Amino acid sequence: MNRPTHLLFISLLLSAFLFVACNKGDLQRQPGTAFDVARSPEALQALLDNDWLFGQSPAAGILSGESFSLTDEYCNFLLPFELNLYTWQSSIYSEGETVSDWNLSYEQVTCANQVIEAIEQLSNGTAGPAYGPLLGSGRFLRAWAFWQLAQLYAQPYDSLQADSVPGIPLPVTADLNAPITRASLQQTYQQICTDLQQATDLLPATIDKAHPNRPSRAAAWAMLARVYLSMRNYQQAAIAAGNCLQLYKTLTDYQQSDTTASIPFSGNHPEIIYQSRMQEDTRFLGGLVNGNNGFINADLYSKYTPGDLRRQLFFKGVDTQAQLKGSYAGTFYPFTGLATNEVYLTHAESLAKMGQTAAALNDLDTLLMKRFAPGYYIPRKSNHPDTVLSWIRTEREKELVLHGQRWTDIRRLNKEGKQIYFTRRVKGTLYTLTPNDPKYTLPIPPQAVKENGLQQNPR
64 has a pLDDT exceeding 70: yes
- Phi–psi pair at 301, nearest 5 degrees: -60, -35
- Average pLDDT in the 292-315 region? 96
**pLDDT on residue 123:** 78
**pLDDT on residue 37:** 54
- Average pLDDT in the 285-298 region? 93
Spell out a b/e string for 398-437, using b for 16 or more CB atoms within 10 Å of the CB, else e: bbbbbbbbbbbbbbbbbbeeeeeebebebeeeeeebebbe
- Average pLDDT in the 262-288 region? 95
**pLDDT on residue 35:** 42
Counting residues of the chain whose pLDDT is more than 70, the rounded percentage is 91
State the burial class of residue 147 (Cβ atoms within 10 Å of its Cβ: 0-12, 13-18, 19+). Answer: buried
Q: Per CATH, is 40-85+98-452 categorized as 3.40.30.10?
A: no
**pLDDT on residue 178:** 87
151 has a pLDDT exceeding 90: yes
Interval 231-255: pLDDT, tens: 999 999 999 999 999 999 999 999 9
Mark residue 281 as left, alpha or beta (left: phi above 0; alpha: psi -120 to 50; beta: remaining). Answer: beta
pTM for the predicted model, two decimal places: 0.93
In the chain, % helix, strand, coil (3-state, to 5) comes to: 45, 10, 45
Give the helix/strand (H/E) hosting 38. Answer: strand 36-38
**pLDDT on residue 392:** 98
| Domain boundaries, given as residue ranges, for the chain | 40-85+98-452
| CA distances in angstroms from 246 to 151, 205, 243, 288, 344, listed in the order given | 28, 11, 5, 36, 11
349 has a pLDDT exceeding 60: yes
Give the E-state strand segments of 47-117 in sequence order: 56-57, 68-70
- Average pLDDT in the 417-421 region? 96
Mean pLDDT for the chain? 91
Radius of gyration of the chain (CA): 22
- Phi–psi pair at 188, nearest 5 degrees: -60, -50
CA–CA dist 323, 45 (Å, integer): 38
**pLDDT on residue 8:** 39
**pLDDT on residue 122:** 85
Lowest mean pLDDT across 15-29, 157-171, 299-313: 15-29
CA–CA dist 384, 179 (Å, integer): 51
127 has a pLDDT exceeding 90: no
